[in-house]
Amino acid sequence: MPLSSSVSDIMCLLRLAYCKREVFNMASNYSLLLLFLVFAGTFLETESKLTPTFYSSKCPKALSIVQEEVVAAIKNETRIGASLLRLHFHDCFVNGCDASVLLDDTSSFVGEKTAAPNNNSIRGFEVVDHIKAKLEKACPGVVSCADLLALAARDSVVYLGGPSWKVRLGRRDSTTASRSAANTSIPPPTSNISSLISNFAAQNLSLRDLVALSGSHTIGLARCTSFRSRIYNESTIDAAFAKSLQGSCPRSGNDDNLASLDLQTPTHFDNLYYKNLLKAKGLLHSDQELFNGTSSADKLVKIYANNTFAFFKHFAKAMVSMGNIKPLTGSQGEIRTNCRKVN
């Protein structure tokens, strides 16, 4: 065989080996790229979904810190449990569960604290500040204020004798707030049953969710100004019950005087709220509307009045549903260092 022919054959074989290697490398790189994209997609999907294990590795002590501080706060003032639960509710109903309710006014927006449903009414901000400081010390910049509110609401209910549920986590905090949205989104105590149903439906919450979540009024207090009209002007209220409230809530003045939403056990989470409705002893007009003899809610009130287990089960499910209202996730919003202001 001529030398030139042998050299030519060798060069051909070398080129073939090189091409095969390049093809192999391209295939390997393509496989790695696919693997990366799958992993990245899975990571982003996980980051954009709420899950009870969100802080398991990021801040393992987060849940225990919130629980311990909530219990300490309730031991210091029993009423604070209801206040923390209400903060979560008033947060979620205004543009989703994003801790916007905690923001103070700024030069660029008027916050929700002075909205009609909140002004001189919602409370517990100092407790939230204290819990947030503990979380920041343990895991700086990790746990959102929105998740803090969701956990504090659950822990308050549990400590006061109510049901527990797995809180889905991973919410991020808003960078703005809206007083006008709070004024229109949070149902007032004067609401009738049709407006209540519409208000909850706007949040993708069902009639059952409405009646179950209203059971949160088994704990806490209400200001005179929120039930004055009911105890003087309405016929759907037990006369003796109305009269018993008129001494501390006159026709005018004493707006900030308080009465228990649940006459018997205002610091214990139970089903007596519904039993009171059956007797026309709902403190707020919106409460008694759930059992007015004409609505589809009547049946659920009777069920919960007679079955604590059913109430607890449905309340827990409704709290999870409410906690899923338009959360900010992934790269949306931020993790506030101070719950009262944007970073």
Catalytic residue among 90, 217, 285, 314: 90
Alpha carbons 175 and 189: distance in angstroms, whole number: 29
| Tokens 């549990």, located at residue | 158
Angstrom CA distances, 275 to 71, 186, 229, stand at 28, 25, 22
Which amino acid, residue 271?
A: N
Q: Which two tokens stand for residue 131?
A: 């819990």
Alpha carbons 81 and 141: distance in angstroms, whole number: 26
Alpha carbons 25 and 19: distance in angstroms, whole number: 10
Alpha carbons 223 and 236: distance in angstroms, whole number: 20
Helix (H) or strand (E) holding 201: helix 193-201
Comparing CA positions, the residue from 136, 161, 152 lying closest to residue 69 is 152
What DSSP string runs through 41-93? Answer: HHHHHHHTS-BTTTTTTT-TTHHHHHHHHHHHHHHH-TTHHHHHHHHHHHHHT
The strand pairing partners of 334, in sequence order, are 173
Torsion angle defined by CA atoms of residues 125, 131, 134 and 135, in that order, rounded to the nearest 10 degrees: -110
In sequence order, the 6+-apart residues with CB closer than 8 A to the CB of 3 are none
Residue 90 annotated in active site: yes
Query: How does strand 258-260 pair with strand 221-223?
Result: antiparallel
Q: Which two tokens stand for residue 215?
A: 């059971």
Q: Which two tokens stand for residue 73?
A: 């706060």
- Classify residue 142 by burial, with Cβ atoms within 10 Å: 0-12, 13-18, 19+: middle
DSSP state of 216: G
Where in the sequence numbering do the catalytic residues fall? 90
